[in-house]
A and B are shown apart, each in its own frame.
Chain A
Amino acid sequence: MGYITGQQALGRAGQVLVPEGKWVQYISSPKDTYALYATGHFRSAGLLPPGRATKLYGREVDDEGNSLRSSCNYQLSGHEPGARWWSINVAPADELSVAASFTARDAILTSDGDFSLAISKHASPGNWLQPTDFGAMRVIMIMNEPYASAKTNSALPALKKLACE
């Protein structure tokens, strides 16, 4: 029983659901009461947890609450993440480390700072991120050194399913 509760606690620790959205923020501040669990969550996956100047978000469902699949096409859209550097990544749902990335370097933005990113196995015009055959998929957003205006978790991008194969 202790082993099972330990495993479950490590699996879910340090995840905060962002209000009004489907994003989850991963927090591992050493000042938190449950810091041991939160850092353990990453370390049990063999990873160093996010640093203090980094915000890490993930989601496994689209805006309608359906599980993300690598065989489907998605449109991620919103305002450019408010950080000095950012990336949108995809990974298998059961893994925390990223598998394919689209970074600020390659982003094409509209004149008012919005962007739209196609997440699809097939080439798409404009911003495009190509997952491989993961099956169940997780979308991860990394914000390195977020601006003060981005610290409220507001205006995280929406993720809409377009079609599935």
Chain B
Amino acid sequence: MTARLYWLFTAAFLGIAVHIATILYLPNASFGRNLARVTNQAPNNSFFVMKPEQQVALLATATAQDIVGLCLVDVAKGNVVISAHGLNQLWSVAIYNASGHQVYAINDVEAGTGDFNIELSKSKSLWQQVAGKPDAEDAKVIENIGWHAELSENSAIAVLWMPVPDANQRPALESVVRATSCKAK
């Protein structure tokens, strides 16, 4: 009886362990492979406009008619600044963390038209928050450059999405998106 219970618990434990390993490992491996293929090993902290077949292969909600730009963000060595020009039409910039969760997003209504910046930085760990400088001192080093988002991990994916309301406008819209930069500060 004890032996049966032992094997039953062992089998259940192994089953749960394999289940957790599957849901953690499989999506990461598949996404990592596809990201490397679609971005063609693009360097970190550089912005590029994707080809239509690339954008539909990476974003569940993009069509081939849209304009999509991408930056593989790495804040390991310091902050990264995304500089773009907001047009007077629908667009959005979304930041996804390494787990695929959207951690930040801004659109035309929030940013308005004209040039804007988004500074991305690594959030402080719990230890850094406890042992670090108080907020009043921190406030002196924050620059008022525009929008700011903190990442819990070193890597993230920034996606600029813009639909094309008129096919004739595509070259002009694409040139504006192409002028976007994503650079280490």
User: How far does the alpha carbon of A43 sit from the alpha carbon of B23 in the complex, in Å?
Assistant: 10
Cβ of A97 under 8 Å from chain B: yes
Number of interface residues of B (CB under 8 A): 48
B88 to chain A, nearest CB (A): 13
Q: Which residues of A contact B28 (CB under 8 A)?
A: 43
Knowing A42-B100, A52-B102 are in contact, say whether A105-B61 is a contact too (CB < 8 A): no
Q: Is there contact, CB below 8 Å, between A10 and B27?
A: yes
Q: Is there contact, CB below 8 Å, between B61 and A56?
A: yes
Partner of B100, one of A39, A54, A99, A144: A39
Q: Which residues of A contact B96 (CB under 8 A)?
A: 48
Cβ of A109 under 8 Å from chain B: no
Number of interface residues of A (CB under 8 A): 46
Q: Which residues of A contact B33 (CB under 8 A)?
A: 46
Main secondary structure of the interface of A (DSSP, over half): mixed
A74 to chain B, nearest CB (A): 19
Q: Is there contact, CB below 8 Å, between A40 and B61?
A: no
The chain B residue with its CB closest to the CB of A45 is B30
Knowing A39-B100, A97-B56, A105-B165 are in contact, say whether A46-B31 is a contact too (CB < 8 A): yes
Q: Which residues of B contact A144 (CB under 8 A)?
A: 61, 90, 92, 161, 163
Q: Is there contact, CB below 8 Å, between A2 and B15?
A: yes
Q: Which residues of B contact A44 (CB under 8 A)?
A: 26-27, 30-31
Knowing A10-B27, A101-B65 are in contact, say whether A48-B100 is a contact too (CB < 8 A): yes
Taken residue by residue from 88 to 106, chain A's Cβ proximity to chain B (1 for < 8 Å, 0 otherwise) reads as 0100000011110101110
B26 to chain A, nearest CB (A): 5
User: Sorted from nearest, which 10 A-B pairs have the closest CB atoms?
Assistant: A46-B34, A6-B22, A2-B18, A43-B27, A2-B19, A101-B63, A40-B27, A43-B31, A2-B15, A44-B27
